[in-house]
Amino acid sequence: MSKELREAALNATKNCHAPYSKAYIGAAILTTDGEIISGCNVENASYPGCICAEQVAIVKAISEGKRNWSSIYVYSKAGWPPCGVCRQVMSEFAPKSLKIIIGDDGGNEKELTLGELLPHSFTPEEYSKN
């Protein structure tokens, strides 16, 4: 399944809108029912309007009612890990056990959990302590 996820993330880069960074990022979420939902980075001339590939995939999944995920594949040429904002967005919807696979153009892959990428995260549960 990792191969299919990588393929979906790579395919998503074909639709990137990255005229400023020239960084083509693709993300693919594997839902627990076996569906793959992908996304690409969408940049904007006004930088705060830029949206990471991971967030595009997450918003697509949520908007389609697909809230249970087993893993997310993140592809970039250099194998960049998800940025801090993406890690926080993931933590809103996924458990710390979510598997995150980071792949590069050489086929190298690194597998981490969300808990490893974002320890001590601020989650929706924090509000119950208020």
The catalytic residue positions are: 54
Nearer to Zn ion, 21 or 32 (CB): 21
Instruction: Please give the size of the binding site for Zn ion, defined by CB under 5 A.
Output: 3
Q: Which of residues 71-130 bind Zn ion (CB under 5 A)?
A: 83, 86
Minimum distance from residue 26 beta carbon to Zn ion (Å): 12
Q: Which of residues 3-42 bind Zn ion (CB under 5 A)?
A: none
Nearer to Zn ion, 36 or 72 (CB): 72
Residue 67 amino acid letter: R
> E strands of the chain, at which residues?
26-31, 36-40, 69-75, 99-103, 109-113
Cα–Cα separations (whole angstroms), residue 64 to 20, 35, 77, 98 = 30, 11, 29, 19
Q: Binding residue for Zn ion (CB under 5 A) from 30, 52, 61, 74?
A: 52
Q: Measured between alpha carbons, how far is 92 from 72 in angstroms, rounded to an integer?
A: 14
Q: Measured between alpha carbons, how far is 29 from 66 in angstroms, rounded to an integer?
A: 10
Phi and psi at 88, nearest 5°, equal -65, -45
Minimum distance from residue 86 beta carbon to Zn ion (Å): 3
Angle 61-91-56 (CA atoms, 0-180°, nearest 5)? 35
Minimum distance from residue 68 beta carbon to Zn ion (Å): 22
Q: Look at strands 36-40 and 26-31 and give their pairing.
A: antiparallel
> Does 57 participate in binding Zn ion (rule CB under 5 A)?
no
Nearer to Zn ion, 1 or 85 (CB): 85
Minimum distance from residue 74 beta carbon to Zn ion (Å): 9
Residues at the interface with Zn ion (CB under 5 A): 52, 83, 86
